[in-house]
A and B are shown apart, each in its own frame.
Chain A
Amino acid sequence: MTASSVGGLAVRVQEESQRAVQVALPAFADIVREHQGMVFSLAWHYLHDRALAEEMAQEVFLELYRHIGSIQSPEHLLYWLRKVASRKCIDQTRRRAFWPKFGLDDIPEPPAKMRQADPMLSGTLAKLVASLPEKARMLVILRYQEDLDPSDIARVLDMPVGTVKSHLQRALGVLREKLVRSVGEIAL
């Protein structure tokens, strides 16, 4: 997708009538298809509830449709989607007091010999990430799902870079400790 395609869609959605919005829908559908994996995965890894994550991702795209006029470039679109998805996920946990309670007992025992990219280890790690506090959880997801630098994460979450770095270090420490407790040193 190019900047002009995003801008062109914005102009059409902003300026034209309801009938013209129908014409713009295929272009919007392309945007949804291109970014749905990113938005859904942010919500899925954060909420650990597939139905809720899909609902949340849909709301992010509905909000994008309403604010498409403010999107200036594909990079801005990515930034906007990450920012809105992060904010909605954090708001969701605060509003419904949703907190995935994964005790160590809920996490299955891994096989004796662990290998990297083991699906069981990945499942365990995903659940441990989902058990982190709100901000730390989103930091870890943005860092390792989206591969964002601390400075980009700071921009998305409106936090100082130093805070992002210290929270990330602390979150990694917590994850390492919990992983050792749940699967043993062999996993590390």
Chain B
Amino acid sequence: MSNLEDDLRIALRREEPSADFTERVLARLNQPAPAEPTWLERLGVLMRPPRLQWVAVAVIVSVVIPVATVQYRGERAKEQLLFAVRVTGTKLHQAQRKVVETGRMGTRL
């Protein structure tokens, strides 16, 4: 066994707590248990400064992100629709021109 292990046993030997430790444990046993907070009290705790910041962040994250996502998707859908309309318009225009050209050639012959 190494010296380090012996030294650790010495360094980590048991120590006693303060002399009145047992009495303090027994005193705490005799104290009435704190009453369970109502849901209103729990809500009140959430509305106090350090936690209020986190509540605000949670609300912002849970509202703003879904709204922004929906808005972004709407914009993308609108752009795609406009693009599709433009492509369709161009194609129709080309088809119309072909029809007119074909009609003129038929007239000449």
Contact = CB atoms under 8 A, between A and B. Distances in A.
A178 B16 CA distance: 28
B14 interface: yes
Size band of the interface chain B makes with A: 20 to 34
A179 B17 CA distance: 28
B14 A37 contact: yes
Nearest to A175: B4
A153 to B, nearest CB: 14
B22 interface: yes
A25 B26 contact: yes
Interface in B1-39: 2-18, 21-22, 24-26, 28-29
Contacts of A175: 4, 8
Contact of B9 (A53, A58, A144, A176): A144
A126 B12 CA distance: 7
A172 B2 CA distance: 10
Contacts of A37: 14-17
Contact of A172 (B4, B6, B28): B4
Nearest to A61: B25
Which of B15, B17, B28 counts the most chain A CB atoms within 10 A?
B17
Contacts of A104: none
Contacts of A61: 25
> Dominant SS at the B interface?
helix
B10 A117 contact: yes
A122 interface: yes
A111 to B, nearest CB: 15
B21 A116 contact: no
A182 interface: no
Contact of B13 (A29, A57, A145): A145
B74 to A, nearest CB: 43
A40 B7 contact: no
A33 interface: yes
A117 B10 CA distance: 6
A121 B7 contact: yes
Contact of A54 (B3, B10, B17, B29): B17
A144 B5 contact: yes
Nearest to B3: A188
A25 B9 contact: no
A57 B107 CA distance: 107
Contact of B26 (A29, A141, A145, A147): A29
A40 B47 CA distance: 37
Given A40-B16, A54-B17, 8 more contacts: A33-B22, A121-B7, A123-B11, A140-B8, A140-B12, A145-B13, A147-B9, A188-B4
